[in-house]
């Protein structure tokens, strides 16, 4: 794009130079006014064939021939630059980028996923199953080709740069997941993101144990170590296989499976605020069970009592099958 701009600017500069030279030349050779000289220059450069201001003498004819040759060469160069830009696909890429950027600018409360590697693809697939709007930041051309085929919104660039995060709508995003292969880059993304958006939820990937605390200090709400989780999961399949299999079924993948749902207490109807879990009466209304409670101090209570008060800024973890979860969503 920068190469095209420099070539286009050169072509426009040469064309302007031809016009200036034509005006000055005709004013000197014909001893005429600026308007007459400009008129002669324009009809000569554009080769429209209108009549001259007066019959040309030998000097004026030679100058006109030279001016025509200069203008033809300059215009031909300008046309070749524009043609090269269109044929190379850069024009269409620019138009496509503007269209995508416009869609991103209209998003609010979306998720940003940095990196479309193995972990990034899994994160995107999960978010799409929850119908969460998202924007992917990726710099690899092969991965961008995959993203385009899947028709996801994306920004091509380095996620560690503030301007790239800003193009992805970091200021109005609700969450960010960074899955870059380098812990140092993930740390930089977390630091930048936390500075640009104080309220968003940030989840970061980490490879080394030493990076965990650094990422948390930098502003990550959660730090995930895929290799460690994988090892724990494999060991659990040997020690408690039935429990692991049950937990694996708690997903949104299966239409007949069991699901976990999160309810933000602040989003409930006002009449339920400061009431108890018993007052919600979810078991009778939907068939769902409350299996967890997270209070305003981010403390978890497993299998909370029915007398637990629904305080502001707390959350409920609900367990139910697909039909029960649908009733829950319809109710609230």
Domain range summary for the chain, segments of one domain joined by +? 2-87, 93-227, 239-331
Confidence band, pLDDT 50/70/90 cuts, at residue 236: confident
**Out of 28-32, 93-97, 210-214, 221-225, least confident range:** 93-97
Distance CA 292, CA 61 (A): 93
In three-state secondary structure terms, 177 is strand
Domain 93-227 has CATH 3.30.230.80: no
In three-state secondary structure terms, 56 is coil
Query: What percent of the chain is predicted at pLDDT more than 90?
Result: 30
> 2-87: which CATH topology?
Helix Hairpins (1.10.287)
Strand 315-321 with 258-264, pairing: antiparallel
pLDDT score, position 297: 84
Confidence band, pLDDT 50/70/90 cuts, at residue 201: very high
First to last CA, the chain: 50
Distance CA 40, CA 91 (A): 35
What pLDDT, in 10s, does the model give residues 276-303?
889 888 888 888 899 999 988 888 899 9
Question: What are the strands, taking DSSP E only, across the chain?
Answer: 111-114, 134-138, 154-156, 175-178, 201-205, 222-224, 258-264, 289-294, 300-302, 315-321
Q: In terms of CATH architecture, what is 239-331?
A: 2-Layer Sandwich (3.30)
- Residue closest to 207 by CA, chosen among 190, 189, 184, 225: 225
Task: Tell me what the pLDDT averaged over the chain comes to.
Answer: 85
Query: Is residue 316 a contact partner of residue 293, using CB atoms and an 8 Å limit?
Result: yes
Confidence band, pLDDT 50/70/90 cuts, at residue 223: very high
Average pLDDT over residues 41-51: 80
Residue 230 has pLDDT above 90, yes or no: no
pLDDT score, position 12: 83
pLDDT score, position 124: 94
Residue 332 has pLDDT above 80, yes or no: no
Give residue 47's region: left, alpha or beta (phi > 0; psi -120 to 50): left
What pLDDT, in 10s, does the model give residues 87-115?
655 556 666 677 778 888 889 999 999 99
């Amino acid at each position: 794009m920068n190469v095209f701009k420099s070539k286009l600017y050169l072509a426009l500069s040469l064309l302007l130079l031809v016009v200036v030279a034509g005006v000055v030349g005709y004013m000197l050779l014909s001893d005429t006014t600026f308007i007459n000289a400009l008129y002669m220059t324009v009809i000569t450069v554009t080769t429209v064939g209108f009549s001259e201001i007066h019959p040309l003498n030998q000097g004026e004819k030679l100058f006109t021939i030279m001016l025509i040759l200069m203008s033809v060469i300059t215009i031909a160069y300008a046309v070749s630059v524009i043609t090269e830009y269109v044929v190379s696909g850069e024009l269409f890429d620019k138009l496509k980028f503007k269209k995508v950027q416009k869609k991103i600018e209209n998003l609010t409360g979306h998720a940003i996923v940095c990196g479309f590697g193995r972990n990034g693809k899994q994160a995107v697939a999960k978010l799409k199953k929850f119908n969460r709007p998202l924007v992917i930041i990726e710099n690899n051309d092969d991965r961008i080709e995959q993203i385009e085929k899947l028709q996801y919104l994306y920004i091509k660039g380095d996620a560690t740069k503030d301007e790239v995060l800003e193009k992805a709508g970091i200021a109005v995003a609700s969450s960010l997941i960074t899955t870059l292969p380098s812990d140092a880059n993930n740390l930089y993304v977390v630091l930048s993101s936390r500075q640009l958006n104080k309220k968003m939820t940030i989840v970061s990937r980490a490879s080394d144990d030493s990076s965990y605390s650094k990422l948390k200090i930098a502003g990550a709400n959660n730090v995930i170590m895929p290799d460690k989780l994988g090892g724990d999961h494999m060991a659990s399949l040997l020690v408690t296989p039935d429990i692991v299999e049950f937990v694996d079924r708690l997903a949104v993948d299966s239409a007949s499976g069991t699901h976990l749902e999160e309810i933000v207490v602040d989003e409930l109807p006002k009449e339920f605020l400061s009431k108890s879990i018993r007052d919600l009466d979810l078991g009778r209304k939907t068939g769902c069970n409350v299996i967890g409670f997270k209070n305003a101090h981010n403390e978890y209570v497993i299998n909370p009592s029915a007398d637990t008060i629904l305080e502001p800024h707390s959350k409920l973890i609900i367990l139910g099958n697909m039909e029960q979860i649908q009733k829950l969503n319809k109710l609230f």
